[in-house]
A and B are shown apart, each in its own frame.
Chain A
């Protein structure tokens, strides 16, 4: 079955530390890749997406992600986190054609300490 794995469930960092959150998906072929963020009490927001082209994707708020096809990975990075980045982060994938529904990972809760 198609699945998405996020191996870091809870990450605690100090402000200015660098961030990398892992995301792997189970099945090859044509994929569209997304990272969403959910701040406490708020809607899901799209951070960035990859459909094709340059595998290094830049998103909002200084986030970026790199698509590595050979590793089925789409890791999220930020060079220097801020307290305001405290949130839950979800990786999501859609595969080729068909239902086009996002399949989400289990999420990573990021806590940034001042």
Chain B
């Protein structure tokens, strides 16, 4: 079955540490996206990539970094510079329209 795999499902991080969230897709989609979901705020775009080796900042990129070395992978690093990292993170991919597919998400908690 084709889809998006996000791992881990739950992640705990100590303050001051960087942590990387995995997003892998086997859909052969060109574009990939990272969203952050907070209660009452919907989903906000962190970073996106429309093609391998290229990515762009979204609306709330501060404190995050990404890479897109392979078409199927778009990992997100939450750095220590992110002031409020506790949230639910969703990865998505797209090929054409409407073509959006979402992963099952990673819930990150800072302890």
Contact = CB atoms under 8 A, between A and B. Distances in A.
Interface of A: 4, 6, 9, 32, 34, 43-44, 46, 49, 51, 90, 92, 94, 99-107
A33 to B, nearest CB: 10
Interface string B17-52: 000000000000001010100001111110010100
Contact of A90 (B43, B94, B97, B98): B43
Contact of A51 (B33, B97, B102): B97
Interface of B: 31, 33, 35, 40-45, 48, 50, 56, 58, 90, 92, 94, 97-98, 100, 102-105
B58 A9 contact: no
Interface of B, secondary structure class, is strand
The residue among B35, B42, B58, B104 with the most chain A CB atoms within 10 A of its own CB is B42
Contact of A102 (B40, B41, B100, B103): B100
A39 to B, nearest CB: 12
B98 A101 contact: no
A19 B40 CA distance: 20
A107 B98 contact: no
Given A101-B58, A106-B40, A106-B41, A34 B48 contact: no
8 contacts: A43-B102, A46-B98, A99-B50, A101-B58, A102-B33, A103-B45, A104-B44, A106-B40
Contacts of B35: 104
B15 to A, nearest CB: 27
